[in-house]
Structure 1
Amino acid sequence: MKQDRNKFKLLQKNKKAYFNYEVIEDLECGIALAGTEVKSLRGGRFSFSDSYVTVDKDGLTLVGLTIQPYTHGNINNHEPNRNRRLLAHKSEIKRLKRKVDEKGFTLVPTSIYLKGNLVKVQISLCRGKQLHDKRAVVKERDLNRDTRRELKQLQY
């Protein structure tokens, strides 16, 4: 039983966040979901597009995560674009709030995964990249691809 709780299955990774932001720190949070949202998440029917995390007096709120309605659901299906509450310790929330307010960081969800039978969200404290930083990343990726291609041709 204990081994099952430690296993995790990655449902989706927010690749665009890693391109647009410099990730400083990661934090694992639980997420408060309605009934059929879990089944839609397990089926991979969700989108990160322009989602972010806000810190308010109630805690952490995930804004902009779209979870499509469950295909076999009934009239009690969930609303796709509602704000969802993230579950974290109060001390972690206070620390994140200080960093977001003082230093101009932003909180972005970077991945959603199953840990045992629980849905977890990894949120990251990020700083926005400048345009020249993004160009450098693209240039480096292209160079790595070209070198791998050359090495593969030399092996044959």
Structure 2
Amino acid sequence: MAKEDIKIVAQNKKAGHDYFIEDTYEAGIVLTGTEVKSVRMGKVNLKDGFARIVNNEVYLYNMHISPYEKGNIFNKDPLRTRKLLLNRHEINKLMGYVTQKGYTLIPTKVYLKHGLIKIEIAVAVGKKLYDKREAVAKKDAKREIEKHFKERQYI
């Protein structure tokens, strides 16, 4: 099996902290020429992004792609709504999830796969404050155990 040619351009690191991620989907995204150049340069921010299903099509909102410096009149609005490219079967599954209470669609990664720009969309449920505290406590405990294990290895 050949190694896939994937280069991660941007990640939404807060997604794992703020949400329980149930499932992920890979989608293409409709971009203009100057947006493609900005994405390839890594000028993407996914932090406030979310997706919605409108008229059986998936759209991505609030994903910020910085304007390309040399793009002048061809630059589009950095926060414009962008269409995601998914199969009908995948859209139907996403509609099933989103109709349930509490589920939302969030972007987790933007990456280049074989020269094409892809986005990873996650079906997620928001965490409550006590869930976040619990996750931080587990992370700290794991870090402490690894620290003690490293110290014992060198003795």
Single out whichever of 143-152 and 108-117 deviates more from structure 2. Answer: 143-152
CA distance in 2, matches of 1:68, 1:5: 31
CA distance in 1, matches of 2:72, 2:153: 57
Residue aligning to 2:129: 131
Cα distance in 2 for partners of 1:140, 1:115 equals 33
2:77 partner letter:
E
Q: Are 1:48 and 2:42 counterparts?
A: no
- The alpha carbon displacement at 1:5 in A equals 9.8
What is residue 93 of structure 1 aligned with on the other side? Answer: 91
Cα displacement string for residues 131-156 of structure 1 (whole angstroms, at most 9, x for unaligned residues): 11111110011111122222223333
Question: Which residue in the other structure is 2:142 paired with?
Answer: 144
Aligned-pair CA distance for 1:72: 2.3
Give per-residue Cα distances to partners, 1:41-90, cap 9 Å, x unaligned: 11111111211000010500000100001122222122211010000011
Q: Which amino acid aligns with 2:138?
A: E
Counterpart of 2:119? 121
Distance (Å, rounded) in 1 between the aligned partners of 2:63 and 2:43:
11
Gaps of 5+ in 2: none
- What root-mean-square deviation, in Å, do the aligned CA atoms of Structure 1 and Structure 2 show? 1.8
TM-score under structure 2 normalisation? 0.91
4+ residue stretches of structure 1 with deviation over 6 A? none
In structure 2, the residue matched to 1:59 is 57
Matches within 5 A, 1:8-23: 8-23=6-21
> Structure 1 length normalisation: TM-score?
0.91
Query: Corresponding residue for 2:32?
Result: 34
CA distance in 2, matches of 1:4, 1:114: 16
Percent identity of equivalent pairs? 39
Aligned-partner residue type, residue 80 of structure 2: R
Q: Secondary structure at the match of 2:112?
A: strand
Which residue type is aligned with residue 153 of structure 2?
A: Q
Q: Which residue of 2 aligns with 1:105?
A: 103
Count of residues in correspondence between the two structures? 154
